Structure 1
Amino acid sequence: MTELTEPSTGSTSTALEVLVLTGMSGAGRSTAANALEDMDWYVVDNLPPQMIPPLVELVARADGSLPKVAVVADVRARSMFSELEQVIGDYMDQGMGIKVLYLDASDEVLVRRFESVRRPHPLQGDGTLIDGIEAERRALGPLRNRADIIIDTSDLNVHQLSAEVRAAFGHEGSSALKLTVMSFGFKYGTPKDADHLVDVRFLPNPHWIPHLRGHTGLEAPVSDFVLSQPGALTFVDRYLSMLDIVIEGYRSENRSFATVAIGCTGGKHRSVAIAEQLSRRLADRTEATVSVRHRDLGRE
């Protein structure tokens, strides 16, 4: 469940995007930070509260060249709670563009999570888990009241929490999925990081055509030859239909990246031409960010 609250005071007077990610220990800060990082936020982990003002000043001086910044406040020492609340309060009271994402969960869920990893609560000391959780909840009360967004993670798994963060901080038109289409040559080995691998050696090889041998699949003579072969465009059409289903599944599972590898013998002609065609059409029909890479182009 996501609870939206109005900003504490004033309107934002700067275009800077600075987010403080904080909340109860065990509520999912690492998962939320990973989701932000996948959306191209620059995530600074375990930053002491007194270092937030210099960071904000650095971002301001960058004049938009730095990406959005998220500070993960891991308040393990009691003194840091009041310092963090004071720093954030000062910026909010001045109408500065800083937001707070607060992660929460029920005591019962937090106890279960700490017990599952067999670690003590950072504020537990000589007491019990509940003692530590209650101490942290009391200390974080004022900060929770200042939060712009509160996410209760009690009933969320890691994928659902990531989806909540994406929904709250993803921009319209942005995509969390980055798709790489890679051409390669089987003679140099298959890519170890490929999620999908297909073989286009069923198409005639331009290498055996003298006037095409010295060219690559990036050039029109080779590309036109490869794509004009029987079955070439049918293969691309049907493979795209399959990838539509796969990409939709990746999106629902909050997958952040995937690699589609297209192979021929040397990675110079057929795989390059098909990879270029596939990447262009994927970019036109999906919301993923599509890039193309030719791993073995230029090898002898």
Structure 2
Amino acid sequence: MGRVNIGNDRGTALGYGTGFLVSDCLLLTNHHVLPDATTARTSSIEFDYQDGIDGKPLPPTVFSLDPDRFFAADRDLDFALVAVAAEPAVLARYGYCPLTAAQGTVIIGEFVTIVQHPNGQKKQLALRENRLVDIPELVLHYAADTEPGSSGSPVFNDQWEVVALHHASVATPQHAPQYGVLNEGIRISRILHHLLQLQLTVEQAALLAQLTTASPSPTTHAATTPDATAGAGDTPAAPPPPPPAAPPVETTPATPPGNPASTDGAVSVEIPLRITVQLGPPVPAPTLASLPGTATTEPPATGGQAVEAISID
């Protein structure tokens, strides 16, 4: 994950955003950061613009972008996916965040974490109290500290899965007075669904397939891969023996001794167990207006520029 340096064909810096690798060569950020291939061609991604664990600045590394190899963007979902002009082996030291289209990876009330370059500054983390407030159809709404330059940041759940692409703030009068303005991230599942609808070349489709293909864990790899020390002519190891069968379960007769069946077919069985269930009055079903995500609002007009919500914890 790094700082996106937005430039033009004259080499002039126009601004900053945030982006992160989602495969060994593809970078995800916002459409309003890289709106087209021309802008991507004159921009770059800067990794390690941050302090190390000793508090001293790390030497940053800058890579150009390669939209001719891959570029896909959508204004409504405010995302841009572009190839980085570097070999996967070179980018491997920075790692990447595999994406998932699975639902239910985050729930209302849970906390999210945002890794960002606010105002183009060094990498910062927005930790804790970034509560997820609601989940409309296409986005997530959460209370967090972000600023211009945070656009394109990954939004993580507690399992460090990317659940959204942060992009701006929106007015949320339905959550006032506690939250008059909330930050908004595009749901990753919606971005992946859009990407699957694109008409791509064979090479581009192969790059896109890497987004949801994570490397197997060492445990999985060891369980499914033959022993690396075995020769070409060695016989594969026999599969492990099946687990022993469970002992037979004794069944209880339908009518235990001393508990005769009643005339209506019921059977009374005495066991050392007591269960008490108390039912309260019925709870009315929620109305549509009370369901989360039913109210929609448009972001505040800012002359065509996306803005960020600043809510100090």
Could you tell me the TM-score, scaled by structure 2's length? 0.20
Could you tell me the TM-score, scaled by structure 1's length? 0.20
The higher-RCO structure (CA 8 Å, 6+ apart) is 1
Higher helix share: 1
Higher strand share: 2
